[in-house]
């Protein structure tokens, strides 16, 4: 029989995508391990890293090593840099915030994020999960009070968003990041929200209703934030 490694590789990648979509990450990791042994491609190592990262108890060192292999093979792969960003912040979470190692990991995450944006990270992913890499990055940065990068990740996501439910979730997260941040620009936020809402292409979308909903959400968050600040001073 005619043997084609390239055909086998495509089958492995398709199977891994299915398992990842079904949240069967251990199975996806096994499949991508075979793919990596078959061909040394950045996409193979990326798929392995995505599957490993999303397991219930991920081996972050293994994720880091696989992403290093991917970046060596393709230093301009935006998804690889996006996953490096996530993995660095995940590793930082296991380190005491006062430790020098924590700051090192956060700086690595910020550098990787800049690379991801420069090379065009979007919602169009090779191994999509329930939540996009950009949105996961935004959530992580918000957790560590890095509101500028969190906002940047969401702004990038707005222009490649697909589907009204994802769009609304991204918009709500952006509003939350903006309200929590102390240095936000209200006019800039409104302008970004307006442009984001206008570029959404979901069928039957009520843009005006969505705009009012986001404004109300921002107002409610501001009231809650103000109340919390007052309680701290009492």
CA distance 171 to 218: 10
Q: Which two tokens stand for residue 89?
A: 């912040």
At 1 the pLDDT is 34
Provide the domain count of the chain: 1
At 182 the pLDDT is 55
Longest dimension (CA), the chain: 79
At 2 the pLDDT is 38
Q: Which two tokens stand for residue 14?
A: 């398709």
Residues 6 or more apart in contact with residue 189 via CB below 8 angstroms: 174, 175, 178, 218
Q: Give pLDDT tens digits along the chain (234 positions).
A: 334 556 689 999 999 999 999 999 999 999 999 999 999 999 999 999 999 999 999 999 999 999 999 999 999 999 999 999 999 999 999 898 888 999 999 999 999 999 999 999 998 999 999 999 999 999 999 889 888 898 889 888 876 666 656 667 777 777 777 766 655 566 666 776 776 677 665 667 777 887 788 778 777 877 777 777 677 666
Is 20 among the domain residues?
Answer: no
At 214 the pLDDT is 79
Q: Which two tokens stand for residue 102?
A: 């924590």
At 222 the pLDDT is 75
Is 58 among the domain residues?
Answer: no
Is 119 among the domain residues?
Answer: no
CA distance 31 to 113: 28
CA distance 228 to 13: 48
Overall pTM surpassing 0.85 (yes/no): no
CA distances to 88, 146, 205, 223 from 220, rounded to whole Å, are 33, 22, 23, 5
At 185 the pLDDT is 62
200: phi then psi, degrees, rounded to nearest 5: -70, 135
Range(s) of the domain holding residue 182: 161-233
Is 88 among the domain residues?
Answer: no
Is 219 among the domain residues?
Answer: yes
Is 211 among the domain residues?
Answer: yes
Is 99 among the domain residues?
Answer: no
Q: List % helix, strand, coil for the chain (3-state, nearest 5).
A: 75, 0, 25
Is 201 among the domain residues?
Answer: yes
């Amino acid at each position: 029989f005619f043997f084609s490694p390239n055909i086998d590789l495509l089958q492995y990648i398709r199977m891994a995508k299915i398992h990842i979509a079904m949240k069967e990450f251990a199975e996806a990791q096994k499949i991508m391990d075979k793919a990596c042994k078959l061909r040394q491609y950045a996409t193979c190592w990326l798929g392995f890293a995505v599957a490993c990262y999303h397991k219930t108890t991920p081996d972050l060192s293994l994720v880091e090593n696989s992403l290093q292999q991917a970046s060596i093979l393709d230093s301009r792969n935006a998804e690889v840099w996006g996953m490096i960003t996530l993995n660095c912040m995940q590793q930082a979470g296991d380190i005491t915030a006062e430790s020098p190692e924590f700051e090192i990991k956060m700086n690595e995450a910020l550098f990787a994020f800049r690379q991801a944006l420069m090379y065009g990270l979007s919602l169009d992913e090779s191994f999509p999960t329930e939540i996009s890499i950009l949105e996961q990055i935004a959530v992580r940065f918000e957790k560590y009070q890095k509101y500028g990068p969190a906002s940047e990740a969401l702004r990038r996501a707005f222009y490649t968003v697909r589907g009204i439910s994802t769009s609304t979730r991204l918009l709500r997260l952006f509003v939350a990041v903006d309200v929590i941040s102390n240095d936000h620009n209200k006019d800039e936020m409104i302008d970004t929200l307006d442009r984001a809402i206008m570029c959404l292409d979901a069928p039957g979308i009520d843009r005006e209703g969505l705009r009012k909903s986001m404004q109300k959400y921002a107002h409610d968050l501001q009231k809650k934030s103000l109340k919390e600040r007052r309680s701290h001073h009492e």
